[in-house]
Structure 1
Amino acid sequence: MSQLDDFDRQILKHLEADGRMAYSAIAAILGVSNTMIHQRITRLIDQGILVGIKPVLNEKKLGYDWGAFTGISLEKDHDSKRIIEELQKIPEVTECYYITGNYTLYLKIIAKDHEHMRQLLYDKIDSIPGISKTDTIIELGCAFKRNIIL
């Protein structure tokens, strides 16, 4: 694993603040060449440190007013790959994690309203063969969400 130097950290901080920031603007702020910024960002991508620059959507403005976290227990843990493939087919499942404890998987789900959430949970997720139990907690809002502070 490579170490980040101060330039790498500064580049990442600028991209975190505005992922659309031009390389030339970052170069001007840091007093280095565009080429250096391009090479550094390419290296960060090649090393897997920077995995992409993409938009962050405001789900509420898109009509998805409900959020939930759902723990999933499986009948057999070795079925997890197949079950994850089925979960990936449900667009409203936005995150899926392997976890320890009472559940095998933990999901983040968004829905337009309570009826939509009910349909997702009962008609789509609970009907996937191999899921033995779900436990859902309704989200009331995100206090904050961020990347690791460098």
Structure 2
Amino acid sequence: MDIIDDFDIQILKQLEKDGRMAYSAIATTLGISNTMVHQRISRLTEQGILTGIKPVLDEKKIGYDWGAFTGITLEKDHDSDRIIEELKKIPEVTECYYISGTYTLYLKIIAKNHEHMRKVLYDKIDNISGIAKTDSIMELGCAFKRNIIL
């Protein structure tokens, strides 16, 4: 496991507040050099700790009012890699997890409305060869979403 120190944690906390923050602003806030911030962010990226700075979209504000969590049961678990590749082709599937228990995979799906959700589930996901069953729970809103707190 890669070790991160207090400077790394402080830099990550600044980026968590605003991923667009200039390195010089982070340096000023933390009382360290701009070069140190750049080197630390480069190292965190190379180590795979920091995987990118991406926008966080509010799906509801861009017209995606429906969300679902869907458990998928496969006919054969060893088909999971192929099925995951097919799921990646469906833009409404925003997250996919391997899980233990009743299902093999667990998805987060977003859709514009109930008809759109039905089409995603029935016309796209259920038509993937090797999927035996889906079980969806409709999402009624996100109470909070965050990264791990350092």
Q: Shorter-chain TM-score: which interval?
A: over 0.9
Tell me the distance in 2 between the aligned counterparts of 1:85 and 1:44: 28
Residues in 1 aligned to 2:11 and 2:138: alpha-carbon distance in whole angstroms: 36
* Residues paired across the two proteins, number: 150
Structure 2 residues without counterparts, runs of 5 or longer: none
Structure 1 gaps, min length 5: none
TM-score (norm 1): 0.99
CA distance in 2, matches of 1:108, 1:141: 13
Deviations 1:100-131, CA, capped at 9 Å, x for gaps? 00000000000000000000001110111100
**What's 1:47 paired with?**
47
In 2, the alpha carbon distance for the partners of 1:138 and 1:2 equals: 38
Task: State the distance in 2 between where 1:54 and 1:125 align.
Answer: 27
SS of equivalent residue, structure 2 residue 102: coil
Is the partner of 2:95 in helix, strand or coil? strand
2:7 alignment partner, SS class: helix
Identity %: 81
Aligned to 1:149: 149
Equivalent residue, structure 1, for 2:18: 18
Alignment RMSD: 0.6
Alignment TM-score, normalising by the size of structure 2: 0.99
SS at match of 1:52: coil
Q: Distance in 1 between matches of 2:149 and 2:76?
A: 38
Pairs within 5 Å for 1:1-150: 1-150=1-150
Displacement of 1:5 in angstroms is: 1.1
- The amino acid of 1:4's aligned partner reads I
Distance 1:140 1:26 in 2: 37
Distance 1:56 1:10 in 2: 21
Amino acid of the structure 2 residue aligned with 1:58: D
